[in-house]
Structure 1
Amino acid sequence: MTEPAAGTTLRLARADDAPAVAALLRENWPFLAPYEPERDEDYFTAEGQEALLRDALAEHAAGRAVPYVIEHDGELVGRLTVSGIVRGAAQSADVGYFVAEAVNGRGVATNAVAALLGVAFSDGPGGLGLHRLQAGTLLSNSASQAVLQRNGFERIGVARRYLRIAGRWQDHVLYQRVAAT
């Protein structure tokens, strides 16, 4: 468990987080929907989230992903996922995250990403030993771009029609953070 500052904690997700994650998504969907893929109704249920978390934990056990939850002052307020872990010469992964509207703009996402960096680039026990992290944001998502920039990510370009978000293929700004050598 990593606690960077201001009551924000990043911890490995568990299957029993499913009811809290589902409730968080239902409550915050109007805020999150413009930045997310379209979802079916099962996505917002405890059962649907439990299945997704079990899949994510299986990916974690296989070394391909790390699903975290973000807590602030002891309350679950978001998710952060390291996915697409590539070993070999690349030693890289993608990172994605969201936080509840109630804590948006309060440094929670910034602190969660900062906590991740300590784990992602560490070769020590519990570290991922990565060389590079990549993240993408919608062109209009200046808040998420600020989170990445405050954590030392650099803009590397724009990927046209990169992901299907809110029902349509949308351009994304790509960022990377490379480990200090």
Structure 2
Amino acid sequence: MNAPDVRLRRPDEADAPALAALMAANWEFLAPYGSAPARPHTAEREAERLRQQLADPTAWPGVIEVDGVIAGRMNLHHILRGALQTATVGYYVAEEFGGRGVAKAALAQVLDVAFGRLGLHRLEAGTLPDNLRSQRVLRACGFEEIGLARSYLLINEEWRDHVLFQVLAHA
């Protein structure tokens, strides 16, 4: 089996119907990890969400494509400038694309964006303690585990612990 052609790009409003459909199809798969909203978005709601993300100077939204098909999202959030020069990366890959190296390939591309085009110094990421697949992806891309954050993120109305990771531009 050939490796998939993975491309990370900035979204636009025309992507909203495909992103809403992808989330609806994968809602049950993603909801336990906090990667899904309380309920799947409509195309109109997804378009509004994209407009907000694209206008936010503290974010860099991305769409993951596999062989030309939208397969997930990879976003930089909480971009901080000044002395810190950091951001948080968050992502999801649709269930049907899992286990094919898609997240790893997209994460490598977002590292190029963060440390190249955006000139950041550090990226952080967090996973639920039992999300071993995502932890393997982060480690494979050079992230190091830095600790456990207790009650870090509200997921499905429950404060959940997260394992935190970081990677530096010039480690």
**TM-score grouping bracket, smaller chain normalisation:** over 0.9
Match of 2:120, SS state, is coil
- The answer as to 2:65 corresponding to 1:71 is yes
Q: State percent identity of aligned pairs.
A: 52
Whichever residue aligns with residue 104 of structure 2, its letter is T
Match of 1:44, SS state, is coil
Q: Distance in 2 between matches of 1:37 and 1:65?
A: 17
Match of 1:118, SS state, is helix
- Report how many residues are paired: 169
Q: Distance in 1 between matches of 2:44 and 2:96?
A: 25
Whichever residue aligns with residue 118 of structure 2, its letter is L
- The answer as to 2:43 corresponding to 1:46 is yes
**What is the CA RMSD across the aligned residues, in angstroms?**
1.4
TM-score normalised by L of structure 2: 0.95
Whichever residue aligns with residue 148 of structure 1, its letter is L
Give CA-to-partner distance per residue, 1:68-96, whole Å, 9 cap, x none.
00000000000011010000000000000
Q: Distance in 2 between matches of 1:152 and 1:40?
A: 32
Structure 1 unaligned regions, length at least 5: none
Give CA-to-partner distance per residue, 1:132-163, whole Å, 9 cap, x none.
00000001100110110000000000000000
Moved over 4 A (4+): none
- 2:54/2:60 contact within 8 Å kept: yes
Match of 1:175, SS state, is strand
